[in-house]
Amino acid sequence: MFTGLIENIGRLVALSRTGSAARLKVAAEYPAGEVNLGDSIAVNGVCLTVTTIDGDTLSFDTSPETLEHSTFRILQPGARVNLERALRVSSRLDGHIVSGHVDCIATVVERRPVSGNVIFTFAVPPEHARFIAAKGSVAVDGISLTVNTVEENRFTVNIIPLTADHTTLSERKPGDQVNVETDILAKYMERLLSFRGCGDDGGVTLELLAKSGFM
């Protein structure tokens, strides 16, 4: 699990394909001994496992599923990537619960400066829009953000200067693609609601969720 608070910005050194899978090499400035083989690191929001360490260069193996549902397939050597190591059980959860399992790729529709901040509008595939709610949480390229508004399959977020300066969002422009992970709680709620009417007790219903304080 992750928080969506970016620790470091790395640089893609190479992406080599092996059939429909690939290996990423990322240069990252972590202190010696703070990253070990087998560690989980979110790279642009995708949870990957460190498979080799060569100085400040970390290697990650990716599956065909990862390439199909993330922007890794279009990344070019030299691209900067957001990095976050896995959350420790004893750590404070300052962002939101991020699993590192990217749901879809979104497109930047608009970038608009407002009073020193930047308002981004993203468009997601329609089938994923139902998991995004105003004032809810979303991870964009691994960055924990609060949704400002939602209209059909588009949503907006406000980026403060600190976030822009310490993540790759400072580089994003209309037409760019980003990884999106929607709120895990929304996905579980939909899964629970899909069982309405199952069993003798009627399963989980909207009425039951409201009565229990979930709505």
Which 3-state string (H, E, C) describes the chain? CECCCCCEEEEEEEEEEECCEEEEEEECCCCCCCCCCCCEEEECCEEEEEEEEECCEEEEEECHHHHHCCHHHHCCCCCEEEEEECCCCCCCCCCCCECCCCCEEEEEEEEEEECCEEEEEEECCHHHHHHCCCCCEEEECCEEEEEEEEECCEEEEEECHHHHHCCHHHHCCCCCEEEEECCHHHHHHHHHHCCCCCCCCCCCCHHHHHHCCCC
CATH number of 8-85: 2.40.30.20
Buried b (16+ CB within 10 A) or exposed e, 129-138: bebbeeebbb
Per-domain residue ranges for the chain? Answer: 8-85, 104-187, 188-215
Reported pTM = 0.86
* Tens of each residue's pLDDT in the chain, 215 residues: 899 999 999 999 999 998 899 999 999 988 878 999 999 999 999 999 999 999 999 999 999 999 989 999 999 999 999 999 998 776 777 778 899 999 999 999 999 999 999 999 999 999 999 999 999 999 999 999 999 999 999 999 999 999 999 999 999 999 999 999 998 887 877 777 776 555 445 555 667 667 766 66
Torsion sign, CA atoms 13, 40, 169, 5: negative
* Dihedral in degrees, nearest 10, Cα atoms 205, 195, 131, 206: 0
pLDDT score, position 31 = 85
Do residues 128 and 182 lie in contact, with contact meaning Cβ atoms separated by under 8 Å? Answer: yes
Supply the CATH classification number for the domain 104-187: 2.40.30.20
- CA distances 151 to 30, 124, 133, Å, are 40, 11, 10
Residue 207: predicted pLDDT: 74
Query: Could you identify the residue written with the tokens 């979110």?
Result: 42
